[in-house]
Each structure stands twice: as structure tokens, then as C-alpha cells.
């Protein structure tokens, strides 16, 4: 029998895309997430009745916050969100983050979901917390639950992840969703990962090191249009302007063609079965995934959104039941 201690490395905290193995994902998490669709639609589940989840979000969020709130609601648990802690908690009076986590631990919560501005914020909370900490994004660090829903979406739409060739496109420096997804994909025998970003905008050594250790083949390029015919998945990201990024379309290397946005040419060159993902939000001004392609059958960004609800419902059940 699988005990909870065997579920993933670092149990019960969810901190990194590196924690999970494919056996757990394919045999436990993804099937349970699949079952959650019906549970969500019927709206009469009480698997987590009496459970309480504290939400601590220090950065703006739409999907992650709402999907955790909705997941709790649809499972009969209570979620508690008391506004931006940087403004409304005693941290505004100089209280340490560690003390805040110790305090929240005394109020009969069953888990804390944290989005922090700092890399390593959730890990810091896990050091002093007796209850599970879920990393809902830590600065430009990681976003493991997004990686889980991205992998689930690829698995559902293509039927497998082994052999899949995926282009991770855009803000290779600051995107936490790219980092966590690259870590997570290394669990499978993926065909190839192509990092596509502007010149001088390279993926970090931590990601390279992990992929090399796991024997994942990867390469780097600047032109999505050029690689489009070779990929099964195009995973777009926005420029993380709040982290000091400049619009990614520009390059300071003259003569080098850079394409990190979805264009008609990219869509036409992609194989018929290939799919376009984006963690969202997409940037209306930068237009890395222009509005006019929203309903293209290759673009499955709102399936991803739905899958985010299902994955978070499944994860909460595993953590709290
Ligand atoms: C991402 C995030 O917050 O890192 N969004 C999300 O959670 N779906 C992507 C982003 O903000 O660019």
C-alpha cells in the first residue's frame, strides 16, 4: 500500500517541480484529477468537509488564487484569504515571515498556500510549518502546481509525454512556470526541449544542470518560426516586466532574427497534432499570443485553466484527506 510518506519527495510540502516522479503522476495524481471533473460539475462533494486552507498571496494572481479557492469550495473545505499580507498583516509592523507562519500554524488550518515575491519564500515557510506548505509561485523561482497542470494538459491532449518535443518560449530568465515545467518534464523520456528566447536571454544553470543530470536532450534558439515544424508543444510565456524584464521582442544583437510570439506562420508550420499552451496571463501589449488566435484548435489555453482546477482539487485531496 502506498503510504502518504511515499507520495513525493519532501512530503507533505509542495515546493518544486523536481519533487514528483512519473509513477506518482501517471498512476495517482493525473487519474484523480481526471475524476475531479465530475466532482466539480456536480458541486455536491464533501471530501474535505471541516478542512481549512489559508491562502497567503503577496503577488497578484487570477488563476492560481481563484482555482485554489474554487477547489476548496468544490471539495467542501474552507479557504481563508485575508488580503495582501504585506499590507494587512503584522508584517506591515515589522513581524517576520517565520513568525507569521508559526502563528497561522496555531489556528487549526490544514495547509497554507503561499505566493511570495521572494525566491525560496515557500521553502522558508516549510522550515517552520507543521502543516503542508504549497508553493503557488515564489518570485522568479518556481511554480510547481502550474507545472503539474501543464504536464497534465500535455498528457491529456497528446496521450503521453514520452517522446514529446516541446518548445519553451519567451522569458527564459524570469519565468517560474518554465523553470518548474522543465524540472518536471525531466521525469519522462521527453523527445527534446527547445528553449526559445531572445539573444542573451538564457535559461539558468540550475535548469541546465537538472536536465543534464536526468539525460534530457535540449537545445537553444531564437526563432520560434524556424523550430515550429519540429515540435508537438509550443509553451509560450509573457515577458515578466514586473521583474525588470524589457519587452522580449527586442534584441541587442543586430542581424539575429528573434521570434518568441505566436504568428500565423508559426501556427501553419506546426504539425496538425501540435498544441499551444500558455500559463496566462498573456500580455495584451506585447501580444505573445494574440487575441485573434484564441479559438484556433491548436490553442488550448483554457483547457489548461480548467485542468488547473482539477489538479489542485486532486492535490488538496491528497494533502488533506
Ligand atoms: C504565472 C505565474 O504567476 O507565474 N501565472 C499563473 O500562475 N498562471 C505566469 C505569469 O505570471 O506570467
- pLDDT tens-digit map of 245-286: 776 665 657 778 889 999 999 999 999 999 999 999 999 888
Residue 63 annotated among the catalytic residues of the structure: yes
Whether the model clears a pTM of 0.85, i.e. scores above it, the answer is yes
Residue 115 annotated among the catalytic residues of the structure: yes
13 lines ligand 1 (CB under 6 A): no
Question: Of 70, 57, 207, 78, which is closest to residue 147 (Cα–Cα)?
Answer: 207
pLDDT digits (tens, 9 = 90+) for 87-96: 989 999 999 9
What are the residue ranges of helices labelled H in 14-62?
22-24, 30-42
Mutate to test the pocket of ligand 1, among 176, 286, 301, 305 (most ligand atoms within 8 A of CB): 176
What is the 48 CA–ligand 1 centroid distance (Å)? 27
pLDDT of residue 153: 98
Return the SS3 of 251.
coil
pLDDT digits (tens, 9 = 90+) for 194-213: 999 988 889 999 999 999 99
280 lines ligand 1 (CB under 6 A): yes
Mean pLDDT of the chain: 94
Residue 106 annotated among the catalytic residues of the structure: no
For 202, left (φ over 0), alpha (ψ -120 to 50), or beta? beta
The cell 497534465 sits on which residue? 152
Residue 143 annotated among the catalytic residues of the structure: yes
- CA distances to 50, 153, 186, 281 from 304, rounded to whole Å, are 29, 6, 20, 12
Query: Considering just the CA atoms, what is the radius of gyration of the chain in Å?
Result: 19
What is the 177 CA–ligand 1 centroid distance (Å)? 7
Mutate to test the pocket of ligand 1, among 55, 64, 174, 277 (most ligand atoms within 8 A of CB): 64
What is the 240 CA–ligand 1 centroid distance (Å)? 9
Measured from the Cα of 238, ligand 1's closest atom is 12
Question: Of 12, 295, 305, 282, which is closest to residue 132 (Cα–Cα)?
Answer: 12
What is the 175 CA–ligand 1 centroid distance (Å)? 8
| Average pLDDT score over residue span 109-113 | 98
Measured from the Cα of 64, ligand 1's closest atom is 7
Residue 236 CA to residue 229 CA, distance in Å, equals 16
Cβ distance 195 to 218 under 8 Å? Answer: yes
Cβ distance 231 to 163 under 8 Å? Answer: no
| Average pLDDT score over residue span 3-23 | 88
What is the 106 CA–ligand 1 centroid distance (Å)? 30
137 lines ligand 1 (CB under 6 A): yes
* Catalytic-role residue among 143, 176, 278, 282: 143
Residue 179 CA to residue 173 CA, distance in Å, equals 9
Question: Of 137, 99, 100, which is closest to residue 118 (Cα–Cα)?
Answer: 137
Q: Over pLDDT 90: what percentage of the chain?
A: 87
Amino acid at each position: 500500500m502506498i503510504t502518504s510518506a511515499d507520495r513525493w519527495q519532501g512530503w507533505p510540502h509542495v515546493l518544486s517541480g523536481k519533487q514528483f516522479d512519473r509513477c506518482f503522476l501517471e498512476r495517482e495524481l493525473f487519474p484523480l484529477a481526471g475524476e475531479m471533473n465530475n466532482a466539480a460539475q456536480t458541486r455536491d462533494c464533501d471530501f474535505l468537509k471541516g478542512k481549512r486552507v489559508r491562502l497567503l498571496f503577496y503577488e497578484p494572481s487570477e488563476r492560481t488564487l481563484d482555482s485554489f479557492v474554487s477547489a476548496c469550495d468544490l471539495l467542501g473545505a474552507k479557504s481563508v484569504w485575508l488580503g495582501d499580507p504585506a499590507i494587512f498583516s503584522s508584517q506591515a509592523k515589522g513581524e517576520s515571515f517565520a513568525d507569521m507562519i508559526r502563528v497561522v500554524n496555531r489556528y487549526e488550518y490544514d495547509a497554507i498556500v503561499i505566493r511570495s515575491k521572494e525566491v525560496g519564500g515557500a521553502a522558508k515557510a516549510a522550515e517552520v510549518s507543521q502543516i503542508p506548505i504549497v508553493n503557488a509561485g515564489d518570485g522568479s523561482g518556481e511554480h510547481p502546481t502550474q507545472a503539474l497542470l501543464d504536464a497534465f494538459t500535455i498528457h491529456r491532449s497528446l496521450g503521453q509525454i514520452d517522446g514529446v518535443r516541446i518548445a519553451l518560449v519567451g522569458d527564459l530568465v524570469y519565468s517560474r512556470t518554465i523553470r518548474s515545467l522543465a524540472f518536471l518534464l525531466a521525469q519522462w523520456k521527453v523527445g527534446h526541449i527547445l528553449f526559445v528566447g531572445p539573444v542573451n536571454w538564457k535559461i539558468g544553470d540550475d535548469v541546465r544542470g537538472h536536465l543534464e543530470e536526468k539525460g534530457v536532450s535540449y537545445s537553444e534558439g531564437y526563432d520560434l518560426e524556424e523550430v515550429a515544424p519540429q515540435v508537438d508543444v509550443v509553451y509560450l510565456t509573457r515577458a515578466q516586466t514586473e521583474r525588470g524584464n524589457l519587452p522580449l521582442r527586442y534584441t541587442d544583437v543586430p542581424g539575429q532574427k528573434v521570434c518568441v510570439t505566436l504568428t500565423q506562420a508559426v501556427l501553419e508550420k506546426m504539425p496538425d497534432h501540435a498544441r499551444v499552451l500558455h500559463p496566462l496571463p498573456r500580455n495584451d501589449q506585447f501580444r505573445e499570443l494574440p487575441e485573434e488566435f484564441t479559438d484556433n484548435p491548436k490553442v488550448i489555453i483554457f483547457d489548461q485553466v480548467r485542468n488547473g482546477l482539477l489538479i489542485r482539487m486532486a492535490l488538496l485531496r491528497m494533502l488533506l484527506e
